[in-house]
Amino acid sequence: MRHSIFILALTIVAAVPSAAQSRRVFDNFDTAKGVQVIRPEPEAVEAVPAKTSTESAKRKSSRNPLVRQIVMSSSRSMRGFSTGDATVDSYILTSSKKYSIDPLLIYAQMHQESAFKRRARSHKGASGLMQLMPATARRFGVKNIWDPKQNIEAGVRYMRWLIDKFDGDVVLALAGYNAGEGAVMKYGWRIPPYRETQEYVRRITSRYNSITDSRFVRSAAKVDAEAAKEIDKKEAVPLALYERDIIAVRLPNGTMRLVSQ
């Protein structure tokens, strides 16, 4: 696996036409300038295998078993949950299967990113269902950032890349999705000390824990058509604001929806 990641890194570096362009913004952090990632030479990567191996072993030994479940889950469905749009649901399932990620992780992530709004856009420029920054979209081949299929495909592919980059640690992958992989590496392969990033990881892991818990699913209250319309108007709660409890509701068509109270 590490060899394949190294090959991918070389491929990315090879795509940079000159040393002057080696400093690139390759992150999805919601800031004006992003995090600058200075890519090391291949020799520098190979020069510290012992330290990297030790740190990796420590991370794996303390990893929550649920983290592994997210990646290794054999689920190929969202277990009754829906974004409210069958087409979007199908894109989540297709991309999650393609990149071997539990679709419920992407579902929980998308709820925080955009509250399932196709035209969501942050004031810093992140766009679409998976709130891709322009640099991230270009990095993963997106031609139209507003196309839900391309947006989801790139978001899931980026998560897969981050999971592989951080040795299967989904928590660090989530941190990297928000703050950029450069920030995670800068702080010793830990969640960066940014309040927004820490809250981002907390919210999504909490949602994933909830929607994979049968007791939470059984607690879903039925809502009528009018209430369902009001749910569709809800926006994602900004990470800078306090978020009330997350609940599941059962829509008139029988599917369930994750909702911020």
Compute the mean pLDDT over every residue in the chain, rounded to the nearest whole number.
78
Domain boundaries, the chain: 2-213
pLDDT of residue 76: 66
Could you read off the pLDDT of 188-201 as tens digits, one per residue?
999 999 999 999 99
The answer as to CATH 1.10.530.10 being correct for domain 2-213 is yes
Are 78 and 92 in contact, with CB atoms under 8 Å apart?
yes
Tell me, yes or no, if 113 is annotated catalytic: yes
In terms of C-beta distances under 8 Å and separation of at least 24 residues, what long-range contacts does 211-217 make, across chains too? 211/79, 211/81, 211/104, 211/107, 211/108, 211/248, 211/258, 212/69, 212/79, 212/104, 216/248, 217/79, 217/80, 217/248, 217/256
Tell me the helices (H) and strands (E) count for the chain, helix number first: 13, 5
- Separation of alpha carbons 148 and 145, rounded Å: 8
Could you read off the pLDDT of 78-87 as tens digits, one per residue?
999 999 999 9
Could you read off the pLDDT of 121-144 as tens digits, one per residue?
998 899 999 999 999 999 999 999
Helices (H), ranges, 115-179 = 134-139, 148-165, 170-179
Spell out, as residue ranges, where the chain has pLDDT lower than 70: 1-76
Q: At what angle do helices 65-72 and 170-179 cross, to 10 degrees?
A: 80
Task: Please name the amino acid found at residue 61.
Answer: S
- Find, among 144, 128, 122, the residue nearest to 83 by Cα: 128
- Find, among 131, 143, 148, the residue nearest to 85 by Cα: 148
Tokens of 61: 């030994």
The single residue of 41, 55, 113, 235 carrying the catalytic annotation is 113
Does the pTM surpass 0.85? The reply is no
